[in-house]
Amino acid sequence: MFPRWGLMPMNSVRPSAPQLQGMEPYDPKYLPADTLLSANENPSDVEEELRREIQREIRRVPLNRYPDPLANELRDMIAEANGLERDQILLGNGGDELLFNTALAWGGPGRKFLNLPPTFSVYAANARLTGTEVVDIPRRADYSIDEEAVLARVAQGGIDFLIVTSPNNPTGELADSVFIERLLEATDALVMVDEAYFEFSRHTVRPLLGKHKNLVILRTFSKAFSLAAVRLGYLLGDADVIREFIKVRQPYSVDAVSQAIARVVFRNRAKFEPAIQAIVDERARVLDGLSRIPGVTAYPSESNYIMFRIKDAGEVWNSLYERGVLVRDFSRAPYLEDCLRVTVGKREENDAFLAALKEVAIARL
């Protein structure tokens, strides 16, 4: 064997997979700022006493051994809290990993994902990465789901999975549970209901799980439970559906330290309730504050963020950032022209945001 390339050493790489061409890597646009209101995180870190308990739990973790691949202790805790069995729960490295696994297990070349834009952009990106065709049914002007159009499309057949985000990110409204039930009855497509923010909306379609094998619910520790840094999310679903997810997952994606942290937090989840209620209360105050700022249209939210519209939102985003306030800019995203999203933070953070926005808005009148 005399390789032809032996004479001239190469220093180049052939193109990556075709579905990556022209794609932008995901960028959360997380910048340093005094007031961080861009990523829908809980503004309060885990309290000191719980952190000490977490430290004790981590100290017991053997670091030289592989973790329990399925995190069965956590599965049992989550199952019990939801009136389900262990085999109906699956943990993932953040909800994001489980979303990717959804596209791996139910998508792929020749298969179709029904998307309800504007919504979480990760869904369409995962479809693209896995060669899954995306069928868009855009939301109405007020961002409610075009329910009849969705039902009509699934009735035509050929949809392999869809994701209904409830509350929707970034627009904030819940999906109607009557609609979700009609959807589950109308199709055998896998219907994921993304309840990443359910602790703030206090609405879940979990009661439908027993009746509908094609329903799977996504939850996360990142938002209400202050663990965005830890990367843990979970699914509730039918045991046969969970089994398909287990086939595509990386066996050790949920590390032993994260499992230990999440066990402590889940066991103590009632302690997070006052902070969650404070965010819900602040949400009403921020919405009210936004409605008093000239030129601003705010959308009601069942979540821990509020989307609002303001002319030249990209410039407004900059002016807010210059004043130390980081919010999320959606103004160049499809269907979200002139929209920004602000996370509900602590009272003083929300006041800083409202004061800065008021100043910017009045200067632009």
Binding footprint of ligand PLP on the chain (CB under 6 A): 40, 94-96, 120, 165, 169, 194, 196, 220, 222-223, 228, 233
Of the candidates 80, 56, 92, 48, the residue with the CA atom closest to the CA atom of residue 266? 80
Closer residue to ligand PLP in complex, CB, 196/360: 196
Rounded least distance, CB 223 to ligand PLP, Å: 6
Rounded least distance, CB 168 to ligand PLP, Å: 8
Give the H or E element holding residue 161: strand 161-165
Closer residue to ligand PLP in complex, CB, 129/228: 228
Rounded least distance, CB 205 to ligand PLP, Å: 15
Closer residue to ligand PLP in complex, CB, 183/196: 196
Rounded least distance, CB 365 to ligand PLP, Å: 33
Rounded least distance, CB 340 to ligand PLP, Å: 16
Radius of gyration of the chain, Cα coordinates, nearest whole angstrom: 22
**Alpha-carbon distance values, 289 to 54, 212, 277, 283, 293 (Å):** 38, 42, 19, 10, 7
Closer residue to ligand PLP in complex, CB, 172/289: 172
Of the candidates 67, 85, 81, 62, the residue with the CA atom closest to the CA atom of residue 267? 81
Please report where in the chains the tokens 């990367």 appear, as a residue: 231
Of the candidates 260, 270, 258, 118, the residue with the CA atom closest to the CA atom of residue 199? 270
Rounded least distance, CB 45 to ligand PLP, Å: 16
Is residue 202 packed enough to be buried (19+ CB in 10 Å), middle (13-18) or exposed (0-12)?
Answer: exposed
Whether the Cβ atoms of residue 114 and residue 189 lie closer than 8 Å to each other: yes
Closer residue to ligand PLP in complex, CB, 233/289: 233
Closer residue to ligand PLP in complex, CB, 196/325: 196
Distance CA 231, CA 93 (A): 5
Rounded least distance, CB 222 to ligand PLP, Å: 3
DSSP string, 185-223: HH--SEEEEE-TTHHHH----GGGTTT-TTEEEEEESSS
Residues 6+ apart with CB under 8 A from 253: 92, 93, 97
Rounded least distance, CB 266 to ligand PLP, Å: 14
Closer residue to ligand PLP in complex, CB, 126/165: 165
Closer residue to ligand PLP in complex, CB, 212/328: 328
Whether the Cβ atoms of residue 324 and residue 334 lie closer than 8 Å to each other: no
Q: What is the dihedral of CA 305, 307, 308, 311, to 10 degrees?
A: 130
Angle between helices 313-322 and 347-363 (to 10 degrees): 120
Closer residue to ligand PLP in complex, CB, 228/278: 228
Rounded least distance, CB 86 to ligand PLP, Å: 21
